[in-house]
Amino acid sequence: MGWRARILATLVLLVLTVSPALAQLRAVELYAPRAFGHVIGDTLTLTAEIALDAPFVLDPASLPPPRALNYWLDLREARLEDHGVRDGVHRYTLDLVYQTFYAPLEPRRLTIPAVALFAIEGERRVPVEVPAWSFLMSPLREIVATGPGPAMQLRPDIAPRPLPTTPLIRGLALALGVALLALLLLAWQMGWGPFGRRCSRPFARAARAIPSTLATAPGDPTLAASRYARALQALHRAFDATDGKGVFAEDLPGFFERHAAFRAAEAEVRRLFEASRRAFFGADPAGAQRELPPEELVALSRRLRAVERGTA
Amino acid sequence: MRTRRLALTATFALLVASLLAAAWLAARLFVVERDNGLIASLAAGHDLAISAEDPPALLFARLHFLITRDRLDEAQPLLNRLAAGEDRDLAVAALYDIANARLRVAFNHLESNRIDPAIPLVRLAKDNYRRALVLAPGFWDGKYNLDIAMRLVRDFPQIDLEGEELPPDAVKKLWTDLPGLPRGLP
């Protein structure tokens, strides 16, 4: 486990050779950190692997509570891990974390006392002992100071430090960056500012132009017919611009394939092309206006603008 | 189209969320900068009143201000608050600094050969160092200073000799052998 050399102190209690009272205890193996070079305030973790015969379980109430064991030794933590029963053997791992506060003047051997636990099965109780462990503690300072400066020079205080602002500044920059990106994305989606030109919208232009093109004084059928024809042309130019080439009635299936969004208005578009056929090739402007009256032409242009914008 | 509208809504939500986050962070930054200003002025020697709701770093700055002026009794409530707080590093720093301050006062007493008032100060300092080391076992400055305090108290007669490892008759002898202390005596 990590950097420290583990010294294995094994206490194997052979089942057949010991008294019947211990027959239920298979083995206690103690894994300890290195047994030397510890200084004041160090923590020491002893790990005991305990194996019991199956019906026996370790009594959790016999675990030592974290406390000061004596004036120099604290038990900080006692963790018991149950590995369950396998092949009739119940295995546990017990971690005991100690902290030593001994201040030796010279290297000195100290002993962490044994821990007495109990295995129980019904009314039967069997003692389980995690063995004692001894180690060498080392001093931190010489007995008589020979270094420069006063003999009992304390290590300096910890000065107050300002609160860290870097994470906040970084977070703020990130949030503002995301906001800017979202704003740009929104502008692109809405066609604001410089994005308006880039994603030019032919149907939007046509829808803007058509009502004024159609506006005419009543009672002048010739003029009205020519204006109607110009309105139709405006809409056709929008189709051409959208597709990048001329769109005729026979091209419509391909157009709808390339611009699936316009399928929503397929019936109206077909009527528009029928009206155009009559107006431009059938020399039947009146029939064309019956097929698609000017009001409906305006409505269609608005509908197509909505489809183009994606808000239909 | 549905997806376009959905994308538009999502972008708008992202914009609003990021602006809200930016506003919150800016407000936090403002508060932290203000606290840093207070910490700096405490460090510069201006005594400022601190309320209990202030952040732990500010409490620690005030504690440090007090203990560097030997106002240990006023610092104690701040220490209690910091030691019970969430911030482990600040708790360790507060315990360590106040222990250092107590030890320095004890040194002053010892230099004037006033042993009786020094003993409880050293014992309190030891207790504070131990609490700091419980929180941070790898804190070397704390270990070093606790070692100093341990040897001081070990050498006093007539007290519960914590960490005693010498026979009582050797105690007084060792104390006078310690270099540097007490100073100014013949």
Q: What is the 3-class SS of A49-116, one letter each residue? A: EEEEECCCEECHHHCCCCEECCCCEEEEEEEEEEEEEECCEEEEEEEEEEEECCCCCCCEEEEECCEE
- With a threshold of 0.85, tell me whether the complex ipTM lies above it: no
The answer to whether B80 and B110 have CB atoms below 8 angstroms apart is no
More confident residue, B174 or A173: A173
- In A45-64, the residues whose Cβ lies within 8 Å of chain B are none
The whole-number average pLDDT for the span B86-97 is 94
Q: Which residue of chain A has the CA closest to B90?
A: A160
Cβ distance of B15 and A71 shorter than 8 Å: no
| CB contacts, 8 Å: B165 with chain A | 104-105, 108
- Check CB contact of A145 with chain B, cutoff 8 Å: yes
| CB contacts, 8 Å: B30 with chain A | none
Other CB atoms within a 10 A radius of the CB of residue A195 amount to: 15
- Check CB contact of B6 with chain A, cutoff 8 Å: no
What's the first-to-final CA gap in chain B, in angstroms?
Answer: 99
Domain boundaries, chain A: 7-137, 192-309
Superfamily per CATH, domain B47-177 = Tetratricopeptide repeat domain (1.25.40.10)
CATH of region A7-137: 2.60.40
- Check CB contact of A144 with chain B, cutoff 8 Å: yes
Cβ distance of A154 and B33 shorter than 8 Å: no
Measure in Å the smallest separation between the Cα of B93 and chain A Cα atoms: 6
Cβ distance of A40 and B7 shorter than 8 Å: no
pLDDT greater than 50 at residue B21? yes
Measure in Å the smallest separation between the Cα of B126 and chain A Cα atoms: 10
Other CB atoms within a 10 A radius of the CB of residue A205 amount to: 16
Per-position pLDDT tens, chain A of length 312: 433 434 444 444 333 334 444 557 778 899 999 999 999 999 999 999 999 888 888 998 999 999 988 888 999 999 999 998 988 899 999 999 999 999 998 999 999 999 999 998 888 888 999 999 999 999 998 888 787 777 788 999 999 999 999 999 999 999 999 999 999 998 888 777 777 655 567 888 888 888 888 776 566 777 778 888 888 888 888 888 888 788 888 888 888 888 888 888 888 888 888 888 888 888 787 888 888 888 888 888 888 888 887 776
- Check CB contact of A129 with chain B, cutoff 8 Å: no
The whole-number average pLDDT for the span B97-109 is 94
Q: Which residues of A177-190 are buried (b: 16+ CB within 10 A; e: fewer)?
A: ebbeebbebbebbe
pLDDT at residue B134, rounded to an integer: 95
DSSP state letter for B53:
T
Helix (H) or strand (E) holding A127: strand A124-130
Q: Is A164 exposed, middle or buried (0-12, 13-18, 19+ CB in 10 A)?
A: exposed
Cβ distance of A99 and B96 shorter than 8 Å: no
* Interatomic CA distance for residues A158 and B128, integer angstroms: 14
| CB contacts, 8 Å: B144 with chain A | 140-141, 155
Other CB atoms within a 10 A radius of the CB of residue A113 amount to: 13
pLDDT at residue A6, rounded to an integer: 44
Cβ distance of B4 and A311 shorter than 8 Å: yes
Closest CA to A56 of A8, A113, A15, A12: A15
Q: Which of A144, A172, A310 sits opposite B22 (nearest CB)?
A: A172
Alpha-carbon torsion, ordered A291, A292, A293, A298, to 10 deg: 180
Helical axes B72-83 vs B88-111, angle rounded to 10°: 150
Q: Which of B101, B137, B147 sits opposite A103 (nearest CB)?
A: B147
**Long-range contacts of range B9-18, CB-CB < 8 Å, 24 or more positions apart?**
B11/A182, B11/A185, B11/A186, B11/A189, B12/A182, B12/A186, B14/A178, B14/A182, B14/A185, B15/A179, B15/A182, B15/A183, B15/A186, B18/A175, B18/A176, B18/A178, B18/A179, B18/A182
A14 Cβ contact partners less than 8 Å away, ≥ 6 residues apart: none
Measure in Å the smallest separation between the Cα of B158 and chain A Cα atoms: 17
Q: Which residue has the tokens 């504690």?
A: B63
Domain boundaries, chain B: 47-177
pTM listed for this prediction:
0.66
Radius of gyration from C-alpha coordinates of chain B: 25
Cβ distance of B22 and A175 shorter than 8 Å: yes
pLDDT greater than 50 at residue B157? no
Q: Which of B36, B101, B162 sits opposite A71 (nearest CB)?
A: B162
- Check CB contact of A182 with chain B, cutoff 8 Å: yes
- Check CB contact of B155 with chain A, cutoff 8 Å: no
* Interatomic CA distance for residues B82 and B78, integer angstroms: 6
Q: Which of A40, A43, A145 sits opposite B146 (nearest CB)?
A: A40
pLDDT at residue A4, rounded to an integer: 41
What's the first-to-final CA gap in chain A, in angstroms?
Answer: 66
Question: Which two three-digit tokens encode residue B103?
Answer: 């030890």
Cβ distance of A160 and B177 shorter than 8 Å: no
The answer to whether B70 and B103 have CB atoms below 8 angstroms apart is no
pLDDT greater than 80 at residue B175? no
Helical axes A294-309 vs A221-243, angle rounded to 10°: 20
